[in-house]
Chains A and B, each alone.
Chain A
């Protein structure tokens, strides 16, 4: 009874304080009972969210739990069906991104919205009111000052198309800061960054926090949540689960709140059978459009029944390596030899597959599966349904002029069942599915080819815990079947737990192939930036 009275008393007191003082409220943002539906889908249901002044709040949730939708309502992209939003204690209506800017809210989206042919500074001032003439020198100076204040490394006069992903992200953040935002929302900012870049970003975020900015960071990487945030708010299936102090929680508790049940975080590494040689890559060299070597004399061998991890800073030649082997990227030197499975005495002789187009490789009877980094831009057709996507790699197998949709439809239905793909049906365009499900379709299709070589590039990027572990399991299953798996990864922890061997790339060169059980993460980190006894080539 007393406790209840106390509770009521507290609430009343708190409310009085807010109403009376307005500006002096502790909260930069308060969202109260916010609901948003898309057709029949409820993206957010009665969600409450509070962001204190000068704190970093992590918004945690699995894919499709409504994190981005909630934040889009704050930044004026969506308008809530119900609920109230208060900014610094004042109820507001945010009808457009413009309104959000006026309230000091700035969002950095997962997909950057920059004009490629303009410089960083030009992008930053784009859309701002100002004089008819642009004084580039002055703006560059201003942007430079702002950047150095928070510890960003950027060149305001650099064109966007010359920038790496992390640099583009910096420009996006600067753009928001330049407009005077004091509430920043970052949607999965680390999804595109290397461990080193992530550290840098976090340092910058801490500087901003010290400067009095309030920050919401959307993520589902638990170690990052622990590293950067003050408090964690958790969403599950569009509903608000609760908020906890980061210091008073641990990864296991957060996982349980996020997924709804406790799950193990250890990755399995089944014992590797001594396999036979599968792919031999010798002296592979690639040039990009500007004549710079993206791959430089890369040599390695893969074996059946193993997972070869490939580590390296983003843009160290991973993409080119995959595409060169898959027949999508022209090379200037080297060769790739494929040795097929031996059936008794019958060994498929070593085939040179470099320079062959994907369909020519298939014609040789070599089943090579490739899960590219760009899932919807290369691996799948976003506007087509699952059936049409499943037959993308196999439609040529049937003789004749007409396509056969029955077999792929059956495969699609089987994939939905086996991989627990969430979709209204095989007729739904894959572009409408969530990231994890899209990846399951892609990986599922490639595995359905029963490949002998499986190349996967960043297969868990942007995926939630559940989906990620499902993907690891699938890769291990393939390994047990004797498939030679090449796994291009970015999370060193995962690479070290999953791979049998790790090849480290640096500036297009192989800086070493190591056994993950015998080296530390730091060793690999060093290899990522140095090639033996050479001046560091990577920045």
Chain B
């Protein structure tokens, strides 16, 4: 028997699902992944002919070094955070809303309809409230469309929401070139919001950041403590079970997608009235897609999304800084962000699974 057993070889590498992992270990793994991503990124920087330590330092200083850059970082984080919360409403019920971009644009346009053309009629406060409601309603309705179609005819929400993005984008282009073109401008652009109607600043950034923080808490309570949040979770797990429990699945679909779209529409309004003061094709600027990463990395937990969105905003801000400071091309700094995100997403595999190498099992058992 002894002789024969040498022929019997264990596989070189095996994947075993972890039973439970203490949070401390899980964070240990994430920490290691972050370090490894910095090292890998460092190699890239070395190849470009720069000192990785200086570049990394510049990234941190560039995003947190002074109140001006902190304002910029927060300005980037706010739309990411609110959008991530918005889409997590849909994602929790396994409704793949990848149409946040479109919902943001539509929200911005609706806010713009009031902001640009009724600023001379209304005083500031009612105007802002009007823009807020218009943005949220428009975004909500734009999100409602795929939900109604899915509930009625079973359409695919992924394709549907994606296509709606392009429609919204084309509509903005049409407004820029046609009816909303700024008077006297030689190239297509929409006029600026008058300074009197712009969102007030609190600690240097428009008050959207306070709203975002409130939304984090509100979304957390909604998901975990309310009946509607519970219904979303049940529908997400199984439509059949939901029907069995007497939950009206179509109503949950439509209600939740309205909320999801409304939050994205709110982002559009904030970007228009608080950050850009105008509407362009870049108003959404990929936020709708980056927010998907944020929501997933945070595992749909609003509090986690706060951390992740600030982190990603910092990376983007930092990447900007090193472009100007070190003349590192934009593509390379984007690559750096990509490397860090790759490691952070990839390490989740090691949080869920562990690998066993040949002959190493005894120590584990």
Residues of A within 8 A of B (CB): 37-40, 79, 81, 84, 91-93, 95, 326, 328, 357-360, 362, 370, 372, 374, 377-384, 388, 391-393, 395-396, 401-403
Closest chain-A Cβ to B109's Cβ sits at a distance in Å of 32
Complex-state Cα separation, A81 to B360, whole angstroms: 11
**Contact A402:B234 (CB < 8 A) given known A39-B20, A392-B245:** no
29 contacts between A and B (CB under 8 A): A37-B365, A39-B18, A39-B20, A79-B10, A79-B11, A81-B365, A91-B4, A91-B5, A91-B7, A93-B10, A326-B244, A328-B244, A357-B248, A358-B246, A359-B247, A378-B241, A380-B241, A381-B233, A381-B237, A382-B238, A384-B233, A393-B246, A396-B246, A401-B227, A401-B228, A402-B227, A403-B225, A403-B227, A403-B229
Most chain-A Cβ atoms within 10 A of its Cβ — which of B229, B241, B248? B241
Closest chain-A Cβ to B275's Cβ sits at a distance in Å of 33
Q: Is B125 an interface residue (CB 8 A)?
A: no
Cβ–Cβ contact B238 & A396, under 8 A: no
Partner of A395, one of B8, B19, B20, B227: B227
- What residue in chain A is nearest B356 (Cβ atoms)? A79
**Contact A381:B238 (CB < 8 A) given known A92-B8, A328-B243:** yes
Q: Is B230 an interface residue (CB 8 A)?
A: yes
Contact digits for B342-365, partner A, Cβ 8 Å, 1 yes 0 no = 000000000000000000010001
- What residue in chain A is nearest B246 (Cβ atoms)? A359
A360 / chain B contacts, CB cutoff of 8 Å: 246
Cβ–Cβ contact A40 & B8, under 8 A: no
A39 / chain B contacts, CB cutoff of 8 Å: 18-20
Q: Is B226 an interface residue (CB 8 A)?
A: yes
Most chain-B Cβ atoms within 10 A of its Cβ — which of A37, A81, A92, A381? A381
- What residue in chain A is nearest B225 (Cβ atoms)? A402
A402 / chain B contacts, CB cutoff of 8 Å: 225-227
Contact count A vs B, C-beta below 8 Å: 85
A374 / chain B contacts, CB cutoff of 8 Å: 240
**Contact A379:B241 (CB < 8 A) given known A401-B226, A401-B227:** yes
Cβ–Cβ contact A378 & B244, under 8 A: yes
- What residue in chain A is nearest B20 (Cβ atoms)? A39
Closest chain-A Cβ to B250's Cβ sits at a distance in Å of 12
Cβ–Cβ contact A84 & B240, under 8 A: no
Q: Is B152 an interface residue (CB 8 A)?
A: no
A95 / chain B contacts, CB cutoff of 8 Å: 11
Residues of B within 8 A of A (CB): 1, 4-5, 7-11, 14, 18-20, 225-230, 233-234, 237-238, 240-241, 243-248, 361, 365
Closest chain-A Cβ to B357's Cβ sits at a distance in Å of 13
Complex-state Cα separation, A384 to B19, whole angstroms: 17
B238 / chain A contacts, CB cutoff of 8 Å: 377-378, 381-382
**Contact A381:B234 (CB < 8 A) given known A37-B365, A39-B20, A403-B225:** yes
18 additional A-B pairs beyond A392-B234, A401-B228, A402-B226, beta carbons within 8 Å, are: A38-B19, A39-B19, A79-B10, A81-B361, A84-B1, A326-B244, A328-B243, A357-B248, A358-B246, A359-B246, A372-B244, A377-B241, A381-B233, A384-B237, A392-B241, A392-B245, A396-B227, A396-B246
Complex-state Cα separation, A381 to B238, whole angstroms: 7
Cβ–Cβ contact B237 & A40, under 8 A: no
Complex-state Cα separation, A372 to B365, whole angstroms: 40
B361 / chain A contacts, CB cutoff of 8 Å: 81
- What residue in chain B is nearest A326 (Cβ atoms)? B244
A377 / chain B contacts, CB cutoff of 8 Å: 238, 240-241
Complex-state Cα separation, A370 to B19, whole angstroms: 33
Complex-state Cα separation, A385 to B1, whole angstroms: 47
Complex-state Cα separation, A93 to B4, whole angstroms: 12
Complex-state Cα separation, A379 to B243, whole angstroms: 10
Closest chain-A Cβ to B18's Cβ sits at a distance in Å of 8
- What residue in chain B is nearest A40 (Cβ atoms)? B19
Complex-state Cα separation, A81 to B365, whole angstroms: 9
Closest chain-A Cβ to B202's Cβ sits at a distance in Å of 29
B229 / chain A contacts, CB cutoff of 8 Å: 403
- What residue in chain A is nearest B229 (Cβ atoms)? A403
A392 / chain B contacts, CB cutoff of 8 Å: 234, 241, 245
Complex-state Cα separation, A357 to B243, whole angstroms: 9
Complex-state Cα separation, A378 to B361, whole angstroms: 39
Closest chain-A Cβ to B13's Cβ sits at a distance in Å of 10
Complex-state Cα separation, A393 to B19, whole angstroms: 30
Complex-state Cα separation, A362 to B234, whole angstroms: 19
Complex-state Cα separation, A37 to B9, whole angstroms: 19
Closest chain-B Cβ to A141's Cβ sits at a distance in Å of 39
Complex-state Cα separation, A370 to B241, whole angstroms: 12
Closest chain-B Cβ to A377's Cβ sits at a distance in Å of 6
- What residue in chain A is nearest B224 (Cβ atoms)? A403
Closest chain-A Cβ to B56's Cβ sits at a distance in Å of 39
Closest chain-B Cβ to A176's Cβ sits at a distance in Å of 23
- What residue in chain A is nearest B17 (Cβ atoms)? A38
B237 / chain A contacts, CB cutoff of 8 Å: 381-384
Cβ–Cβ contact B8 & A84, under 8 A: yes
Closest chain-B Cβ to A2's Cβ sits at a distance in Å of 28
- What residue in chain A is nearest B221 (Cβ atoms)? A402
A384 / chain B contacts, CB cutoff of 8 Å: 233-234, 237
Closest 7 CB pairs of A and B: A39-B19, A359-B246, A358-B246, A381-B237, A378-B240, A95-B11, A392-B245
